[in-house]
Amino acid sequence: SRANEIGLRVPQVREVTKIAGKWTIVSEYIRGQTLGQLIKTRPNRVEEYMRLLFDTQKEIHSKIGADGKVCMCHGDFEPSNIVVSDDGNPYTIDWAKAEYGEAFHDCAVTYLLLLLSGEDGCAEIYLNFFENKEQLREHIPSAARALICDANERRREFLRSFL
């Protein structure tokens, strides 16, 4: 995968094939738990887990595109898409929405996904790691527009409040 080629920690792709008539990516199995699972089972460590989420996303954004201006963006970066292996290493999964783009837009998407998840305080803890919170906040309306397309009615209503 492109993410692996540029040095990001992702499961190795084993095969791209059709199963029951649908395209499927078969990848290496990472033994561990998602950050989402860890947050639910160890809520006393939520700040540590949000720091890991923030740092992992920052690493993804450090991969610069060919034009030297845009960076790799996950597009669906939330705790359920980070698997923390049994040896403590974070692996990023579900790259279906990945593209090169603006880092603050990708972070604004993550912030909104955290708000939508309902996990107590995760979004605000994540936001507090940013030195320039205003720059992130400027991207929230465009991030909300991007998320509305795939949202159910309840989520669309919530996201409209950011437009």
pLDDT above 70 (res 1):
no
Contact (CB, 8 A) for 143 and 108: yes
| pTM for the structure as a whole | 0.91
For residue 138, the one-letter residue type is: E
Q: What is the pLDDT of residues 143-157, one digit of tens each?
A: 999 999 999 999 999
Mean per-residue pLDDT over the chain, rounded: 93
6-26 mean pLDDT = 90
Q: Looking at the chain, which runs of residues are DSSP E strands?
A: 13-19, 22-27, 32-34, 71-73, 82-85, 90-92, 99-101
3-state secondary structure at position 106: helix
Q: What is the pLDDT of residues 63-102, one digit of tens each?
A: 887 777 789 999 999 999 999 999 999 999 999 899 999 9
Distance CA 116, CA 11 (A): 26
Structure tokens at 75: 């597009």
Distance CA 128, CA 132 (A): 9
Distance CA 97, CA 89 (A): 23
Contact (CB, 8 A) for 72 and 100: yes
For strand 99-101 and strand 71-73, is the pairing parallel, antiparallel, or unpaired?
antiparallel
Residue 43 DSSP symbol: G
Q: What is the pLDDT of residues 36-58, one digit of tens each?
A: 999 999 999 999 999 999 999 99
